[in-house]
Amino acid sequence: MPVGAPIIRLEDVRKSFGAVRALQGVDLACHPGECIGLVGHNGAGKSTLMNLLAGVFGAEGRMLIDGIESAGPHTIATAKANGIRCVFQELSLCPNLTVAENARVMHRALSGFGWRGRAGRLIVEQLDQVFPNHGIGPGDIVGDLPIARRQMVEIARAFTVTDAPARLVILDEPTSSLDAHLASQLLAYVRRFVAEGGCVVLISHLLGEILAAADRVIVMKDGRVVAERPAAEFTRTSLVAAMGTVAHEEAGTRDMAAGRRQGAPRIRARARTGGNELVAHRGEIVGLAGLGGQGQSEMLIRIFDAARHRAPGITVEGGSALVAGDRQTDGVFPLWSIAENITITSLKRLRSGILIDRDKTDAMADDWRSRIGIRTPDMHNPILSLSGGNQQKALFARALGSTAETVLMDDPMRGVDIGTKQEVYGMIRAEAERGRTFLWYTTEMDELKHCDHVYVFRDHRIVADLTRGELTEERVLHASFEDVA
């Protein structure tokens, strides 16, 4: 249970971006010795609130640190000096620097002769504590690491200590790129950190994580706190209801595996290192599972490329569209508008003569805004004006709005709220009924239950093919770690 005065307290905090009211009278207190779960739909104000705590920008209202109201502005420097750290939803590491050099960026105390070695030891020791057997070296270039390992480095860096303590650590969707094994390691470390007197604010759309790790849960909607009580008083259903979404049962979502594998396959592919062959038919939803970084994303990229150019070991019938999980690197065009990002793969259908018809593109963009619930007053706003979850919605709209026969999804639900997930699941099922094929890599066990069958990857090859009837978390983990006959 929390003891003592709050590390930081917000009273009647308000923040607007133009006509958008991101925060509307929010109160918040973060005490030592507690983990606060923060949930809400995309655009509810969660990330805005965390940016405020981290000193990224100011806002109207009162802020007290250790019971004292600051005389000057609350900046990143003052937040750091008071032990407030933040792991942002969009990772902030410098991709051209090594892991050790990124640790140095955060810690000015690592200076003088031998600083690189000290920085390397600092970050590796913290990685060892949070993610045992992580396999990350201090000299690794961050841009060369897969997104899961980049997220691991950013998380570990937030907990490192030199001249300033780590008292309050804000984790904004920290497990969005981590598999179940790595996520469990992180949540176990969070509980140890809290038990030692630290405070963690955990933002996640995975409600099971919130209920398992948090002491207190805060629900936000439209820039306001709409519910706040101990985590033990919530169930998944009541938490979803507090967010304003109807909870749907996931079990029995699809009962269509029988008879799916008919006719000629639409996709045949085999990993470069051998293993079982991946086969996907018309109208199938095929899951890709296993620990992160075991070749699932690589397989999707190879299939995506093979739909345009011949590739050894892969045959693809028809076109394909890709929903990237690492949206900043592989997904959005950052200088373009929301509408341009959605319609880019459909330009042939949006022409009048040799020119792009502006009315058609606007109509398509507005249609997908309403269908998938993109929260913006104007689809011509820059894509980066959206929250991370709403950016991901735009990528879904781009793929589902295309004419591609196959949609490839690379852990696509990163930062997407539960209400939108349920809507997208329904869209995927409806599109599969119409004959579209989906290849779906996901680190969430609940999402695999929507698939007709699931291929499990280990060591960059397929080691098991599980039907829906055979699919259990135990069998996926067993195939992920052990040899399968």
Rounded to 5°, the CA angle 451-455-459 comes to 145
Is CATH 3.40.50.300 correct for 265-481? yes
Which residues have C-beta within 8 Å of that of residue 4, sequence separation ≥ 6? 31, 32
CB atoms within 10 A of CB 246: 9
Bridge partners, residue 64, by sequence: 9, 69
Q: Please give the torsion angle defined by the CA atoms of residues 304, 305, 307 and 311, in that order, rounded to the nearest 10 degrees.
A: -130
**Contact (Cβ atoms closer than 8 angstroms) between residue 14 and residue 24:** yes
- What is the rounded CA–CA span in Å between residue 18 and residue 254? 44
pTM passes above 0.85: no
Which own/partner pairs from 136-141 qualify as long-range (CB within 8 Å, at least 24 positions apart)? 136/99, 137/99, 138/98, 138/99, 138/100, 138/103, 139/98, 139/99, 139/100, 140/98, 140/99, 141/95, 141/96, 141/97, 141/98
- 153, 145 Cβ separation under 8 angstroms: yes
Q: Is the pLDDT of residue 451 over 90?
A: yes
Sequence spans of domains, the chain: 8-243, 265-481
Winning range, highest mean pLDDT, from 186-190, 349-353, 381-385, 467-471: 186-190
What are the tens digits of pLDDT across the range 11-47?
998 888 777 788 888 999 999 999 999 988 877 888 8
Fold of 8-243: Rossmann fold (3.40.50)
| Rounded Cα gap, residues 355 and 413, in angstroms | 34
Cα dihedral 137, 143, 145, 151 in deg (nearest 10): 90
Beta carbons of 289 and 476 less than 8 angstroms apart = yes
pLDDT of 166 over the 60 cut? yes
For 157, phi then psi, to 5°, come to: -60, -35
CA angle 341, 343, 344 (to 5 degrees): 70
Return the pLDDT at 483.
52
As a whole number of angstroms, the distance between CA 278 and CA 9 comes to: 53
Q: Is the pLDDT of residue 258 over 70?
A: no
Q: Give the confidence band of 336 by pLDDT, cuts at 50, 70, 90.
A: very high
Whole-number pLDDT of residue 21: 80
Task: Decide: residue 113, CB within 10 A, 0-12 exposed, 13-18 middle, 19+ buried.
Answer: exposed
Residue type, 204: S
Fold identical between 8-243 and 265-481? Answer: yes
- pLDDT for 415 equals 66
pLDDT for 130: 95
pLDDT at 250 over 90: no
Is 260 or 398 the better-scoring residue by pLDDT?
398
In the chain, the percentage of residues whose pLDDT exceeds 90 is 32
Q: Which of the two residues, 359 and 243, has the higher pLDDT score?
A: 359
Average pLDDT of the residues of the chain: 85
Cα maximum dimension of the chain: 72
Cα 139-145-148 angle, rounded to 5 deg:
125
